[in-house]
Amino acid sequence: MRADLKIKKSLQILISAMVLGGFLLMPQASWAALWVSDQGGANPCIRQALPPTPATTCNSLVTAASSSTSGENIYCEGTFNEQITLGSSAGHDNTTWDNWSGNSCTVDPPNPPTAFYGFVLGDAGNPALNVTIRDLTITTAIFDGIMIGSNSHNATILNNTISSSGNGINISSGTDIVISQNNIFSHQVAGINGSRATPDSFSGLSITRNAIHNITNGGGAGDGIALGGTVSFSVSNVTIANNFIYSNDLNGVTFTAYDDSNSVVNNSFADNDVGVNLGDSKGSPATNTVIRDNIFSIPSRAAYGIYVYNAASTSGLASNYNDFYLEGGGSNAGYWVSGAQQTLANWQTASSGDANSTDVNPQFVSAPSNLHIQAGSPVNDLGTTIVGINDDYDGDPRPWGGAWSMGADQLDGGGGGGVPEFTILTMMLALGAGIGLILLIGRLNKKHNTI
């Protein structure tokens, strides 16, 4: 091919890439949505594509809920002392509740008997299907920040701050619920509670990339994540991955009863009395549990990495490639049915598991609150591939330049500081597009000057 044709072809490709990139980066037109502001008045909620003047719209999320239709977006700003109850018959399926152009939106419900919850998905057997709650602050509910029940399937709880309630999120029934990238803290019972599953039960729950911390035992528990079924209805197929779980008064994660086929993988635990608990004192089982690629930083007190409460819960347990770091006196790698196992070697003998696990200091950036690992951490590259887990706590890809890191934070193979391949590709395309544009302008100027 002639050189000038090659240049022409290259320029065409670069210009096409620039045009496509420009299109993708352009703000896209929005569908009409409902807008709510605490600076509004007793007005109908405005339905339009672009944000209105705050004073002209409604000032109530409850009003917005009564006005919404299936598939609608509801954007809010300000603080709302309300409980928002959603259900299919009221047109709430497929709705998204989000903040207004990045402005803070806080749901702070009033005290009983006016309200007990922030959001309720499903009311008296009336489910709310495919609801998304994202980028909100939900605080100081007496019972639950978010209650999911009545078979409210496919809920997505994304990137919220949920604090200072009985439970952060309470799930009684529903399938394929996604809880991701939330900051859940300072609750009295549990950060995420599914231990009171109704006969509807639930399965397919995904809990990923959250920070769950500082849950107290003020309500008699103090668990980061508490899941449990009944003798007839199990909690199953739950994935708990890439979370920072720390400074909880009791368990980081507990499967209390009749839980089956659940996975706890690539999490970072610190300063919990127990990292992962299986079963209860009544002999109720938590079976076929996968515990892999986690970091357990076990504090200097009567604390445990993994606590297997009863013999029934040993059935199908697959635990390996974990880090059991004992911070000091009193801490134990685990508890196996009837006795504490202080060291990793003791735990391996008792459990016949964790053959590829270790007990090194993971070198967190600032334990217990920042559980990223430092460059050069000995747990980098010590993990094993988990099918279906493709990123880490920050959304960085796994693996990144090397092997799999233990815990929720993935380092590159060189101990940190690597550049993802997609970033390099983006930089190359941008540089090429810029050079191509310069060459094109130069050729046009040359042609113009020769006329």
The two structure tokens encoding residue 276: 């992962």
309 belongs to a structural domain:
yes
Q: What CATH number is associated with residue 358?
A: 2.160.20.10
Residues 389 and 425 in one domain: no
Residues 344 and 426 in one domain: no
The Cα 97–Cα 102 span in angstroms is 13
5 belongs to a structural domain:
no
Residues 77 and 186 in one domain: yes
Residues 443 and 361 in one domain: no
Residues 446 and 317 in one domain: no
| Segment (H or E) for 320 | strand 318-320
178 belongs to a structural domain:
yes
Residues 143 and 269 in one domain: yes
Per residue of the chain (451 residues), give pLDDT as tens: 334 433 444 445 444 444 444 433 333 334 689 999 999 988 888 899 999 999 999 999 999 999 999 999 999 999 999 999 999 888 899 999 999 988 999 999 998 888 999 999 998 889 999 999 999 999 999 999 999 988 899 999 999 999 999 999 999 888 899 999 999 999 999 999 997 655 456 788 999 999 999 999 987 789 999 998 777 667 899 999 999 999 999 999 999 888 999 999 999 999 999 999 999 888 889 999 999 999 999 999 999 999 999 999 999 999 999 999 999 989 999 999 989 999 999 999 999 999 999 999 999 999 999 999 999 999 999 999 999 999 999 999 998 877 899 999 998 744 333 334 334 444 444 454 455 445 444 444 443 444 3
409 belongs to a structural domain:
no
Report pTM.
0.86
Residues 432 and 390 in one domain: no
The tally of domains found in the chain comes to 2
98 belongs to a structural domain:
yes
339 belongs to a structural domain:
yes
The Cα 219–Cα 189 span in angstroms is 5
| Segment (H or E) for 138 | strand 137-139
76 belongs to a structural domain:
yes
At residue 449, the pLDDT reads 44
The Cα 371–Cα 265 span in angstroms is 15
The Cα 103–Cα 354 span in angstroms is 47
The parent domain of residue 432 ranges over 421-451
